[in-house]
Amino acid sequence: MNSATYPPAIYQALYTDEAGEVVGLDEVQLLDPILTSRIPELLPLLAGDDLYLAYQAGLVLAAWGVAAGVDYLRHLAEIRVDRTAELQPHRLSGEDNVYDVLAEALGIAVLSEYDEQQVAGILRNILALYGDCYFESKLKRTLLRLNPDELLPAIKQAMTLALEQERYYQASQLLPVLAKYDKAYALSQVSLFERLVAQDERIAYNLTEMQEYA
């Protein structure tokens, strides 16, 4: 279903602010205070036949700290939804950025006072996909905002997985995160990534950013 054909109440719940102005799905996730009056409109969408509509409702509900939304995002990661649907194709590469977007919504959930330990468990599962799947940078930003000490082994493994799949720039995105939470380990990886700049010059941006934390 095209979003333009959604029933007005659903369109408003997903895309407008408290004044009814269209601001888009990303901004609705950030509304503070959350619009609790919209939750009953969004919850049934999680069980509907329109996967993309359910996905969008899940993002909003999770970001607002609603357990059903968080559980739905966990479900999408567990079933590897990328294997059966394309929910978030990147505007340039066309690769599905779905797990990056899930991670961002989960990070906002923590800001909405959702249990950080539960979110960390889902992020651990998402990190395990870091070699197979595409991530633009939202997961990196989420990890930088949280306190992921317990996720450090998973973050290091994710970097290894991305390197094995020759996703060199994607692997380098985790350098600032590691520099913030495990400075010694991050510094031990610098020479490797300096050599890889020849493969993808964007790596230099993450090498520079990590210096803010190292």
Please write the tens of the pLDDT for every residue from 143-195.
Answer: 999 987 899 999 999 999 999 999 999 999 999 999 999 999 999 999 999 99
Which residues of the chain register pLDDT less than 70? Answer: 1-2
Torsion of CA 169, 78, 59, 64, to 10 degrees: -110
Tokens standing for residue 31: 């509304």
Which domain covers residue 90, as residue numbers? 3-146
Which residues pair with residue 16 across a beta bridge? 22
178 with 99, same domain: the answer is no
Last residue of a domain, one of 99, 117, 146: 146
Counted domains in the chain: 2
Mean pLDDT, the chain, integer: 96
Helix axes 116-127, 67-78, angle to 10 degrees: 20
Shared domain check, 111 and 29: yes
- Whether 30 is covered by a domain: the verdict is yes
For residue 149, the model assigns a pLDDT of 86
106 and 177 both lie in a single domain? no
pTM of the model: 0.95
175 falls within a domain: yes
